[in-house]
């Protein structure tokens, strides 16, 4: 596996030799000194170029980065709707294990690009167009304190969609139940846990993509309970995960509400939790709800 120095020399060498490439920038975890370092860190590289089309017309120029295991070009796909913003992206998994995400951005979009991501390191600027005072910071990725409305909305969404999971489980529709558990209910739980992490650190931390650093900022008991919410394939597993989620959400939301001096909707919690308990034991051949 080529090391970071070798990869950066290759990336910058390609830019030096191509007059179309006027500047090079680094984004992602490699631009963040606080991010853990490991062999799976991507090289998130931006080439600011005079024009994009000639690169697309002859894609063989990316072969210089090495043999590839796989390539994805989102702008050429229909499954993932392209952004159609004049930019082009090459996502490359190289044969030596390195991952290179290479974005081509038209030079006239430089100012807009620099405003999009403050976690940016300028590696090359042939024309001295970019202010030298740019200092990379992850402040845009830090957990932000919730407004009262956002907090209430999160609680409402969590308890509301929990009833969909229960309905799916009672109907023996495991895919429906799992989908709502993981796509709707879980994000609200993670959002609440992130707010707790923010409170415990005075909202100075970035918990990472998919909350991957969350463990470091919440009580270990909460982390263990969160792991218990990742259900297996059985119906009883999902029921157990749902109730564990509910209990963890309740305790976390009350802590957040207390710190932020917001109201926690105890009535929604009490009524929906009772509903979930009722559905969990409701006979499969029941012809009325009977709560």
Does residue 151 come out as left (phi exceeding 0), alpha (psi in the -120 to 50 range) or beta?
A: alpha
C-beta of residue 26 within 8 angstroms of C-beta of residue 7: no
Q: Strand 21-27 to strand 43-49: parallel, antiparallel, or no bridges (unpaired)?
A: antiparallel
C-beta of residue 23 within 8 angstroms of C-beta of residue 48: yes
C-beta of residue 202 within 8 angstroms of C-beta of residue 148: no
Average pLDDT for 238-254: 98
Q: What is the pLDDT of residues 104-145, one digit of tens each?
A: 999 999 999 998 988 899 999 999 988 876 777 788 889 999
Does residue 210 come out as left (phi exceeding 0), alpha (psi in the -120 to 50 range) or beta?
A: left
What is the distance between the alpha carbons of residues 267 and 156, in angstroms, rounded to a whole number? 11
Please report, rounded to a whole number, the percentage of residues in the chain having pLDDT higher than 90.
Answer: 83
91: three-class secondary structure by DSSP: strand
Domains of the chain: 4-140 (3.30.460.10), 142-281 (1.20.120.330)
Average pLDDT for 76-92: 89
Supply the pLDDT for residue 288.
78
Q: Strand 88-94 to strand 68-72: parallel, antiparallel, or no bridges (unpaired)?
A: antiparallel
Here the tokens at position 285 are 């051949």
C-beta of residue 91 within 8 angstroms of C-beta of residue 71: yes
Name the band, by pLDDT with cuts 50, 70 and 90, for residue 168.
very high
Supply the pLDDT for residue 133.
64
Q: What is the pLDDT of residues 190-223, one digit of tens each?
A: 999 999 999 999 999 999 999 999 999 999 999 9
DSSP state of 54: H
**Vertex 15, ends 11 and 19: CA angle to 5°?**
165
What is the distance between the alpha carbons of residues 29 and 36, in angstroms, rounded to a whole number? 8
Average pLDDT for 176-189: 97
**Lowest mean per-residue pLDDT among 32-41, 67-76, 92-101, 176-185:** 32-41
C-beta of residue 168 within 8 angstroms of C-beta of residue 188: no
Average pLDDT for 239-243: 97
Checking if the pLDDT of 84 tops 90, the result is: no
Looking at every residue in the chain, the average pLDDT score rounds to 94
Q: Name the phi and psi angles at 83, rounded to 5.
A: -75, -25
pTM: 0.85
């Amino acid at each position: 596996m080529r090391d970071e120095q070798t990869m950066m020399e290759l990336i910058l060498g390609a830019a030096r030799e191509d007059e179309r490439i006027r500047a090079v920038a680094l984004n992602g975890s490699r631009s963040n000194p606080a991010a853990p370092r490991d062999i799976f860190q991507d090289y998130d590289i931006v080439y600011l170029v005079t024009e994009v089309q000639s690169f697309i017309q002859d894609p063989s120029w990316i072969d210089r980065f090495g043999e590839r295991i796989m390539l994805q070009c989102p702008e050429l796909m229909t499954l993932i709707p392209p952004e159609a913003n004049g930019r082009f992206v090459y996502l490359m998994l190289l044969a030596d294990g390195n991952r290179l995400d290479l974005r081509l951005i038209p030079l006239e979009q430089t100012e807009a690009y620099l405003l999009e991501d403050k976690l940016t390191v300028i590696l090359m600027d042939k024309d001295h167009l970019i202010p030298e005072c740019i200092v990379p910071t992850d402040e845009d990725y830090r957990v932000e304190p919730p407004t009262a409305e956002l907090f209430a909305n999160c609680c409402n969404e969590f308890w509301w969609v929990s009833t969909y999971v229960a309905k799916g489980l009672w109907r023996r529709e495991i895919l429906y139940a799992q989908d709502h558990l993981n796509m709707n209910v879980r994000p609200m739980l993670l959002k609440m846990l992130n707010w707790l992490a923010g409170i415990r650190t005075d909202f100075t931390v970035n918990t990472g993509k998919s909350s991957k650093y969350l463990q470091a900022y919440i009580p270990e008991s909460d982390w263990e309970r969160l792991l218990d919410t990742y259900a297996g394939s059985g119906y009883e597993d999902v029921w157990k995960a749902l109730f564990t989620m509910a209990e963890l959400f309740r305790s976390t939301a009350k802590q957040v509400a207390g710190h932020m001096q917001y109201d926690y909707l105890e009535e929604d919690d009490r009524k929906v939790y009772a509903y979930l308990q009722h559905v969990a034991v409701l006979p499969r051949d029941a012809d009325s709800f009977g709560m």
